[in-house]
């Protein structure tokens, strides 16, 4: 599998959009400095990190949607990773950190404005291969844009 890179690291005080930061420490509960508005739905060890592909965002923008990295709530925007292979069980190395994809992230109403009101546009149930994913942290580390992102394997 080709090596990609971390295009952007994003955090917020809760909700979207998540905004870029120059670096953030990844812990078993997510990025330091990041918060979620609804902890029963977002966050926790199995949803510590939300990932999405810059290439998917670029296509959505080309379709006319007002989306940008972080708008859909992803903590890490990746570039150059074969997104169709990023499925539950996939393991990725992000800099020195390692994560395992646990599930597809279901879109919610707060993200709909960034896809012209149709959150199904990046919902795995309606558009397979277009979903963001949640991941658990296998190894902590510091993440920053430009660091390598490598698809390791699938469990």
Domains of the chain: 3-154 (2.40.33.20)
Angle (nearest 5°) at CA 46 between 41 and 56: 75
With a cut of 90, say whether residue 155 has pLDDT above it: no
What are 43-69's pLDDT values in tens digits? 789 999 999 999 999 999 999 999 999
What CA–CA distance (Å, rounded) separates 38 from 80?
Answer: 31
Which helix H or strand E contains 145, and what residues bound it?
none
- The pLDDT, as a whole number, for residue 44 is 86
What are 55-108's pLDDT values in tens digits? 999 999 999 999 999 999 999 999 999 999 999 999 999 999 999 999 999 998
Q: What's the pTM value of the predicted model, to 2 decimals?
A: 0.95
Beta strands 49-53 and 76-79, pairing class = parallel
């Amino acid at each position: 599998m080709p090596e990609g890179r971390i295009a952007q690291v994003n955090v917020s005080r809760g909700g979207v959009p998540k905004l870029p930061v120059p670096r953030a420490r990844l812990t078993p509960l997510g990025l330091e400095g990041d918060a979620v508005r609804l902890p029963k739905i977002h966050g926790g060890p199995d949803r510590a990190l939300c990932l999405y592909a810059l290439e998917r965002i670029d296509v959505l923008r080309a379709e006319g949607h007002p989306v940008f990295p972080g708008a859909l709530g992803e903590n890490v925007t990746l570039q150059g990773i074969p997104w169709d292979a990023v499925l539950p069980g996939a393991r990725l190395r992000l800099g020195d950190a390692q994560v395992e994809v646990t599930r597809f992230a279901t879109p919610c109403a707060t993200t709909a404005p960034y896809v012209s009101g149709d959150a199904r546009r990046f919902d795995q149930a309606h558009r397979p291969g277009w979903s963001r994913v949640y991941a658990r942290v296998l190894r902590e580390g510091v993440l920053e844009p430009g660091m390598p992102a490598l698809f390791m394997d699938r469990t």
